[in-house]
Amino acid sequence: MTDITKEAMMPPRSFLSQDAIQLFYRLLAAFLICAVLAVLSDSFLSLGNILNVLRQASLTFFIASGLTLVVLTAGLDLSVGANVALSACIAGTVIHKTGSPALGILTGLACGGIVGLLNGIMVTALRIPSFIATYGMLWVLNGLTYWYMAGETLHGFPAGFRQIGSGYLFGLPIPVYLLLVFLGIGTLFAQRTIWGQEIYAIGANPVAARLSGIPVARRLLLVYAVSGIMAGLASIIFLSRLNSAEADIGESLTLPAIAAVLIGGTSLFGGVGTVFGTFIGALILTLVLNGMNLLSVSANWQPLVTGIIVILAVWLDMKTRRRAQ
């Protein structure tokens, strides 16, 4: 194995230490946001609001965690929000037709995974840039979902199913427990498995990764499929939480998911970032949006603020990367 292939196989130590430093600053930013909101709003530190923040952050995290793996390979998945909408509508239909939440959950996960796999095929077999492939898929999924629903809304799901998104266990929302489970799985997969290290290597240098024997196409198929499955999981949580499904359920989900990934420190250029960082990014974004709601900031300003945060995150990523080089 040549020196260049060895370098591609191993995640750069300087980047890992840089990840730790950036993670510290992001945790500090989250703490400062909490401190400011606690001063400005009497209801911020209420138990109900804190649980609401954790629940909202978990919903963003489910979509963003799979997207993190895609971005680590220097790719992008713009179809995650539309994937959530289609998966939720199909899963909701299955639950209504069969009366089986388990079958609906499996259908939602399968639908999300198939969409992700199709994205991976377009990127690897057809060699379409991920931005274009998933942007096209976004419109395809939107068209399918609106045609499938035909203006109808599904609602009224079984009480047991609704516990997934709305229930509590020992005082904590059930989505928070799911967040902890998938946060642990995602972190262990990315940091402690050979497949995870290969994903970092592909993002750092795809040519060197291929020369070192890493099956780049298969790993890319894996990360896009995982991104789709996590979108399918998010669709189940949303379906359970809202107790309804309609065609536009995912229109506002893609940008916050991308924002959480970038705020969490994952580089758009690939090879740098962590799933835990994405959790912190989802938490920071949720705190900002929650703060605007508590301070009665118009909802029209929230997409603007989210967009500015994304631009700042990308700018900081580029600046940090240049400094590292």
Q: What is the DSSP string of 228-268?
A: HHHHHHHHHHHHHHHSEE-TTTTTTTHHHHHHHHHHTT--T
Mean pLDDT of 154-170: 92
* pLDDT number for residue 5: 47
- Quote the Cα angle for 183-60-178, to 5°: 40
User: What residues have CB less than 8 Å from 230, skipping those under 6 apart?
Assistant: 62, 63, 65, 66, 67, 112, 182
* pLDDT number for residue 65: 94
Given a cut of 50, whether residue 12 has pLDDT beyond it is no
Encode pLDDT of 43-98 as tens digits.
899 999 999 999 999 999 999 999 999 999 999 999 999 999 999 999 999 999 99
Q: Band the pLDDT of 7: cuts 50, 70, 90.
A: very low
Which one of 2-6, 28-32, 177-181, 268-272 scores highest in mean pLDDT?
Answer: 177-181
Encode pLDDT of 288-318 as tens digits.
999 998 988 887 887 888 788 878 877 877 7
For 154, the 3-state DSSP assignment is strand
**Whether 234 contacts 62, CB under 8 Å:** yes
Q: Band the pLDDT of 2: cuts 50, 70, 90.
A: very low
**Whether 90 contacts 152, CB under 8 Å:** no
Spacing of C-alpha 19 from chain mean position: 19
As a residue count, the chain comes to 325
**Short-list 251, 247, 55, CA closest to 165:** 55
Average pLDDT of the residues of the chain: 89
* pLDDT number for residue 324: 65
* pLDDT number for residue 321: 67
Q: What percentage of the chain carries pLDDT values higher than 90?
A: 68
- DSSP category for residue 153: -
Given a cut of 50, whether residue 3 has pLDDT beyond it is no
Q: How far apart are CA 51 and CA 118, in angstroms?
A: 36
Mean pLDDT of 233-261: 90
* pLDDT number for residue 255: 87
Report the relative pairing of strands 172-173 and 154-155 from DSSP bridges.
unpaired
* pLDDT number for residue 26: 84
Q: Band the pLDDT of 1: cuts 50, 70, 90.
A: very low
Which one of 114-128, 201-215, 239-253, 285-299 scores highest in mean pLDDT?
Answer: 114-128
